[in-house]
Amino acid sequence: MRIRGSEPAATTRARCGRMLVAMLVLVGNAAVAADSPVRSIDVKYDGETYVVDAVMFAPVGQAVAWEVLTDFDHMAQWVPNVAVSKVLKHEGNWVTVEQRGMARFGGASFPYVTERRIEMKSPSAIKTTQLKGSLRRVESSIALEPEGKGTRLNYHLEIVPSVLARAVMSTSFVEHEIIEQFTAIIGEMVHHVRQ
C-alpha cells in the first residue's frame, strides 16, 4: 500500500543508489586528496587569464627538491604531459628550455610547444617566462622553503591561452594539469631519495 505523498519503491531505490555513488565519489576524492602532495590549489579565470596559486609539500630536503625541479633535460621521463624537454641555452643562473607535449583532461586535449626563459635562484626560487609557444602568455614562479623534514613549494602561475587552447581549457582542466604534474614531480623527488 502506497502512502499518499510518498515515493514509489523504485524511485526510493534509485535515489539511495545515487546517494551511495555520491558518497563513494566523496570518499574516493578524500583518499586521493590524502595521498596528494597538493595541500591547496586555487584556480581563477577572469575571461582572459588563468591564475593559479598552489601550495605543495615534498617529503624531501630542499636540495633534492631543487635538483629534480631543475633537471629540465629529464623531465619527459616523469612528467606525464611532457614528451620532450631540453635545455637550449645555459647562462649563469638562466636557462632557456624547450618543451613539447600533450595536455589532456577527460576528452579534452591539445598539443603544446613552449620555449621558456628560466631564472634559478638556488636553492629557493625559480621564475619562468614563456618566450614563444602555443599559449599567448605563461609566467610562473616556485618558492621552496624548508618545512620540518621536507620542503614546501609555493607555486604561482599565470596563463593567457591561445584561441585553440581556450577551446579546451577550463579551471578544472588547469587544476587537473597542475595536480597531475606536481604529483609526478614530487613522486620523482621521493624516488630520487630512495635510489
**Digit-coded pLDDT (tens) for 86-98:** 999 999 999 999 9
Q: Report whether pLDDT(5) > 80.
A: no
Residue found by looking up cell 618545512 in the block: 147
- Which pLDDT band, with edges at 50, 70 and 90, does 33 fall under? very low
CA 29 vs CA 22, 32, 34, 85, 144: distances in Å: 10, 5, 8, 31, 27
In percent, the amount of the chain with pLDDT more than 70 equals 82
* Spatial contact of 96 and 118, defined as CB atoms under 8 Å apart: yes
Q: Report whether pLDDT(70) > 80.
A: yes
CA separation for the pair 17, 115 (Å, rounded): 49
CA separation for the pair 31, 25 (Å, rounded): 10
Q: Give pLDDT, residue 194.
A: 87
Average pLDDT over residues 140-156: 97
Residue found by looking up cell 614563456 in the block: 130
Overall pTM > 0.75: yes
Average pLDDT over residues 124-131: 98
CA separation for the pair 23, 153 (Å, rounded): 31
Q: Report whether pLDDT(11) > 50.
A: no
